[in-house]
Amino acid sequence: MVAGSALQRTLQIARGNPSGSVGFLLVLVIVLPGLLAPVLPIADPNALNLAHRLQAPDREFLLGTDQAGRDLLSRILWGSRESITIAFGAVGFGCLVGVTLGLIAGYMHGTIVELLITRVFDILFSVPLLVLAIAVMGIVGSTKLEVWGFEISNAMKLIALIALSFAPALGRVAYASSLVEARSDYVRAKKAQGAGWLEIVFLDILPNAIPSVIVQATLFVGVAIIVEASLSFVGLGIAPPTASWGTMLADARTYIFSGEWWIAVFPGLAICITVVGFNLMGDALRDLLDPRGSSRSIFV
Amino acid sequence: MLGFLLSRLVSGLIAIVSVSALVFWLIRTVPTSPALLVLGADAGDTVVAAFEAKYGLDQPILQQYATWIWRALTRFDFGQSYISGRPITTEIALTLPVTLELIVVSMTLCLLISIPLGTLSAFRPGSILDHAARAIAVIGVSTPGFWLGLVLILILSVRLGWFPPGDLPPVSQGIAAHAHSIVLPAFCLAIYYTAIISRMTRSSILEVLNQDYVRTAVAMGLPKSRVRLIYVLRNAMIPIVSVVAMSCGYMFGWAIVVEQVFNIPGVCRALLAGIFSRDYNLVLAAVLVITVAFVLLNILADVLYRVLNPRLSW
> What would the pLDDT profile of A66-113 be if each residue is shown by its tens digit?
777 788 888 888 888 889 999 999 999 999 999 999 999 998 888 999
Beta carbons of B252 and A298 less than 8 Å apart: no
**Once rounded to an integer, what is the mean pLDDT over residues A203-213?**
86
Q: Hey, what domains does chain A have and what are their CATH numbers?
A: 18-38+61-299 (1.10.3720.10)
pLDDT confidence of residue A278: 92
**Once rounded to an integer, what is the mean pLDDT over residues B9-25?**
91
> How far, in Å, CA of B68 to CA of B83, rounded?
18
**Once rounded to an integer, what is the mean pLDDT over residues B54-82?**
83
Beta carbons of B141 and A279 less than 8 Å apart: yes
Residue A273: is its pLDDT beyond 50? Answer: yes
Helix (H) or strand (E) holding B211: none
Which residues in chain A are closer than 8 Å to B199, comparing Cβ atoms?
Answer: 297
- Terminus-to-terminus CA distance in chain A, angstroms? 45
The three-state secondary structure class of A252 is: helix
Beta carbons of A234 and B257 less than 8 Å apart: yes
CATH of B88-308, one of 1.10.3720.10, 1.10.260.40, 3.40.50.300, 3.60.15.10: 1.10.3720.10
Residue B54: is its pLDDT beyond 60? Answer: yes
Which residues in chain A are closer than 8 Å to B139, comparing Cβ atoms?
Answer: 272, 276
Q: Shortest Cα distance from B184 to chain A (angstroms)?
A: 16
Beta carbons of A134 and B272 less than 8 Å apart: yes
| A264 vs B151, B247, B272: nearest CB | B151
Beta carbons of A131 and B290 less than 8 Å apart: yes
Which residues in chain B are closer than 8 Å to A268, comparing Cβ atoms?
Answer: 143-144, 147, 150-151
Which residues in chain B are closer than 8 Å to A264, comparing Cβ atoms?
Answer: 147, 150-151, 154
pLDDT digits 0-9 by tens, B196-230 = 999 889 888 888 888 888 888 888 888 877 787 77
Q: Which residues pair with A65 in a beta bridge?
A: A71
Beta carbons of A256 and B153 less than 8 Å apart: yes
* Average pLDDT in chain A: 83
Residue A295: is its pLDDT beyond 50? Answer: no
Smallest Cα–Cα separation from B89: which of B75, B77, B101?
B77
pLDDT confidence of residue A300: 30
Range scoring the smallest mean pLDDT among A288-292, B182-186, B269-273, B286-290: A288-292
Range scoring the smallest mean pLDDT among A49-53, A154-158, B273-277: A49-53
- ipTM comes to 0.88
CA gyration radius, chain B: 24
Which residues in chain B are closer than 8 Å to A283, comparing Cβ atoms?
Answer: 138
Q: Cβ neighbours of residue A90 under 8 Å, at least 6 residues apart? A: A158, A159, A160, A162, A163, A166, A220, A224, A228
Beta carbons of B154 and A256 less than 8 Å apart: yes
pLDDT digits 0-9 by tens, A225-271 = 999 999 999 988 888 788 889 988 988 888 888 878 888 899 999 99
pLDDT confidence of residue A144: 63
Range scoring the smallest mean pLDDT among A70-79, A163-172, B30-39, B128-137: B30-39
Decide which of B170 and B244 is more confident: B244
pLDDT confidence of residue A170: 92
Which residues in chain A are closer than 8 Å to B291, comparing Cβ atoms?
Answer: 127-128, 131-132
Q: Cβ neighbours of residue B69 under 8 Å, at least 6 residues apart? A: B17, B20, B21, B288
Which residue on chain B is closest to A246 by alpha carbon? B147
Contact B268, B255 (CB under 8 A): yes
- Terminus-to-terminus CA distance in chain B, angstroms? 5
B290: confidence class by pLDDT, cuts 50, 70, 90:
very high
* A 34-73: CB under 8 A from B: none
Beta carbons of B165 and A257 less than 8 Å apart: yes
pLDDT confidence of residue A297: 43
> What is the bridge-based pairing of β-strands A150-152 and A145-147?
antiparallel
Which residues in chain A are closer than 8 Å to B256, comparing Cβ atoms?
Answer: 130-131, 134, 230, 234
Which residues in chain A are closer than 8 Å to B254, comparing Cβ atoms?
Answer: 130, 230
Range scoring the smallest mean pLDDT among B5-19, B28-42, B295-309: B28-42
Contact A48, A69 (CB under 8 A): yes
Residue A296: is its pLDDT beyond 60? Answer: no
Residue B215 to residues A189, A239, B236, Cα–Cα distance (Å) = 44, 59, 15
Beta carbons of A128 and B246 less than 8 Å apart: no
A157 CB-side CA count, 13 A: 26
Which residues in chain A are closer than 8 Å to B207, comparing Cβ atoms?
Answer: none
B314: confidence class by pLDDT, cuts 50, 70, 90:
low
pLDDT digits 0-9 by tens, B98-132 = 999 999 999 999 999 999 999 988 888 888 888 88
Q: Which residues pair with A147 in a beta bridge?
A: A150
For residue B60, count other CB atoms closer than 10 A to its CB. 8
pLDDT confidence of residue A298: 40
Beta carbons of A138 and B165 less than 8 Å apart: no
**Once rounded to an integer, what is the mean pLDDT over residues B37-53?**
75
pLDDT digits 0-9 by tens, B150-186 = 999 988 888 888 888 878 888 788 788 888 889 999 9
| A128 vs B139, B143, B253: nearest CB | B253
Residue A299: is its pLDDT beyond 50? Answer: no
* A 82-101: CB under 8 A from B: none
Smallest Cα–Cα separation from B257: which of B153, B147, B154?
B147
A294: confidence class by pLDDT, cuts 50, 70, 90:
very low
Contact B218, B232 (CB under 8 A): no
Interface test mutation site (partner B, options A121, A126, A251, max chain B beta carbons within 10 A): A126
* Average pLDDT in chain B: 86
Residue A275: is its pLDDT beyond 90? Answer: yes
pLDDT confidence of residue A274: 93
